Amino acid sequence: MKIVICGANGQLGRALQASLGGHSVTALSRVQLDITDLENARQAINTIKPDLVINAAAFNEVDRAESDPEPAFKQNTLGPRNLALATSAIGIPLVHVSTDYVFDGNGSRPYHEFDQTGPHSVYGASKLAGERAVALHNPRHYIVRTAWLYDATSRNFPNTMIGFATRPEVRVVDDQTGSPTFVPHLAGAIARLIESDAYGTYHLAGLGGASWFELTRTLFALLGIDTPVIPVSTEEFPRPAPRPRYSVLTTVQDPQILLPPWEQGLKEFAEEKKKGTH
C-alpha cells in the first residue's frame, strides 16, 4: 500500500514510519505539507496519489489554545477538513488521530467510541471539530482517539519526570486518570487497523488506567529512581486549560484492537532508557 503520513517529525509520525515498513511510505513534515492550506493539501495528494493518508499532525499546546485558539482550530479542525476533502476527491481513506480531550472527563467508567462527547477546553473542542469535519467530508475514514502519548526520545511527561528526578521530591497530580500510551504500541495498532477496511471511530490507547502520580511512581520503580513521589491535587498545579479528571479509553468496536496494558508500555520505555541510547 502507498501511504502518506502527515506530521512526519512528531513522535507518532516517526513511530508510524517504523511500523509501516512493509508499505511504500511518504512521510511529510509541516514544512513539506501545510495541511491548513487546502490547495497545498490537494496538490500534494494528487501528485503522490497514495492509497491512504494518515494525519498525525496536530496543535498540541493545550494551555496556549485557551488564550490563542486560532492556531488550534487551523491545525486541528481546518487541516483535517482539508485532508478529508482532498482524499475523498480521489476516493481514498483518511486516518485522523484524535484525543481523549473530546470527553468532559466527568465519567466514572472508561469511555468507549459511542459515548457522548463534551470537551471542556479549546484544544478538546478543536479536536472534536476536526473529527466531525473528517466524518462529514470523507466517509472512508478512521478516527483514532488516543491519550497520554510518550516515547523514549521526545518531549513528553515520562521524560519530564525523569528530568525532575534530581529534585528532593517530585509532586505529581493524583486526581487525573487516563490511559498512558506508548507510541510504538499505538503505531502498531494503526498499522493493523488500516488493513480492516472497517471505517469509523476507534479508541486505541494503553489498556487500563492510571493517574499521573501512579504513572510516575511506576516509572521511577522501573528505573530504580528513589526520589520520593508525592501525590497532590489538580488545584495545586493550576493550568489555563481544564484537564479531564477521568478519561480512560476503552473499545467496543469491531475489529476490537487492544493495545498492551499501560504498564507494559512503560516497561518497554524504561528498558529503552536503561540502554542509554536516549
Q: What is the CATH number of the domain that holds 71?
A: 3.40.50.720
In a domain, 268, yes or no: no
Q: How confident is the model at residue 16 (pLDDT cuts 50, 70, 90)?
A: very high
In a domain, 142, yes or no: yes
In a domain, 141, yes or no: yes
In a domain, 54, yes or no: yes
Q: Domain range for residue 100?
A: 2-150+181-207+249-259
Over the stretch 129-183, which tens digit does the pLDDT of each residue have? 999 999 999 999 999 999 999 999 999 999 999 999 999 999 999 999 999 999 9
Q: What is the pTM of this model?
A: 0.96
Phi/psi at 215 (5° precision): -60, -45
d(CA 155, CA 177): 20
User: Has residue 277 got a pLDDT over 90?
Assistant: no
Only one residue has cell 509520525, namely 13
Active-site residue (options: 101, 123, 142, 202): 123
The pLDDT value recorded for residue 229 is 98
The pLDDT value recorded for residue 235 is 95
d(CA 187, CA 2): 17
User: Has residue 121 got a pLDDT over 80?
Assistant: yes
In a domain, 232, yes or no: no
User: Has residue 27 got a pLDDT over 70?
Assistant: yes
In a domain, 278, yes or no: no
Look at the chain and report how many structural domains it folds into: 1
d(CA 77, CA 65): 13
Which whole-number Å values give the CA distances from 127 to 150, 171, 177, 202, 223, in the listed order?
A: 19, 29, 20, 15, 34
Per-residue pLDDT, averaged over 98-126, amounts to: 97
In a domain, 133, yes or no: yes
Confirm if 260 and 204 have CB atoms less than 8 A apart: no
d(CA 138, CA 86): 9
Beta pairing partners, 4: 26, 53
Which residues lie closer than 8 Å to 59 by C-beta, 6 or more apart? 65, 71, 72, 74, 75, 76, 123, 126
The pLDDT value recorded for residue 276 is 76
Chain center to CA of 204: 9
In a domain, 92, yes or no: yes
Q: How many CB atoms lie within 10 A of CB 53?
A: 28
Q: Is 123 one of the annotated active-site residues of the chain?
A: yes
